[in-house]
Homo-oligomer: A and B are copies of this chain.
């Protein structure tokens, strides 16, 4: 269990880290969040995560609760206080506590800022990378603003649970035209039959993944053919390789989609090279 959490300006023993029952994050999912990867004590991609947080907040009519510099200090501090080497920092900002009413509070209230840190086991992650993971495909029933990293995640929860029940690691969400939008908590990629790296455009109602962008930046100019376009489940099943990206798993090979083997059914060489490249650059 984590040692301490940050809530509204204070570091508290993890067990006593609480928010009021009329916090708008709890009652309305009127809140957004970020997850930062921590690797060997270093926080990855701090600036892009904070930039995305700022954008998410702006899209729902909120400003940043404090400066980037101050948030950065607290992210680092929560890592130190929890003696985190490898793991994740979770940062959530809600509109604050207010008498229940769907509309924004008439007079501004103080936003709630919550931070927790949890360690992860690099050995366990290495095993997942070595074996690859299974994904299933489920209909994408989420709302029309998936570009906002909000905590209105019930659809994602139900999709992830469907995956877990099916023995899979992730659920790929499929739109009405049969195209994969993204995973329930990851971005989805394939290496196409022609050898191109394909991932959906962030203009198409998906989350602009920080790891996704970091990977694209890391391999720029390295000769990969990158196609930011939608791909269908049918195309994915015929792909040479498939993988997912997220702050919590970096680049993770997908070896089956709905039980159909992707390529050889083993983690692909391009995927593994991309993982190394990403970690060398960002981590």
Contacts and interface: CB of A to CB of B under 8 A. Distances in A.
Interface string A113-132: 01010100000000000000
Interface string A122-153: 00000000000000000101111100101111
A139 B143 CA distance: 11
Interface residues of A, number: 54
Nearest to A145: B141
Interface stretch (A22-30, A213-221, A222-230): A22-30
B7 A102 contact: no
Label chain A's interface by main secondary structure.
mixed
Most buried by B among A29, A30, A161, A184: A29
A28 B92 CA distance: 11
Interface string A149-174: 01111111110110110000000000
Interface stretch (A13-21, A66-74, A260-268, A270-278): A13-21
A69 to B, nearest CB: 23
Contacts of A60: 154, 157-158
A21 B143 contact: no
Given A17-B20, A21-B116, A161-B104, A153 B26 contact: no
A248 to B, nearest CB: 10
A27 B118 CA distance: 15
Given A103-B163, A161-B103, A161-B104, A154 B30 contact: yes
A3 to B, nearest CB: 14
The 7 closest A-B pairs by CB, nearest first: A141-B144, A18-B18, A102-B160, A29-B29, A152-B152, A103-B164, A152-B154
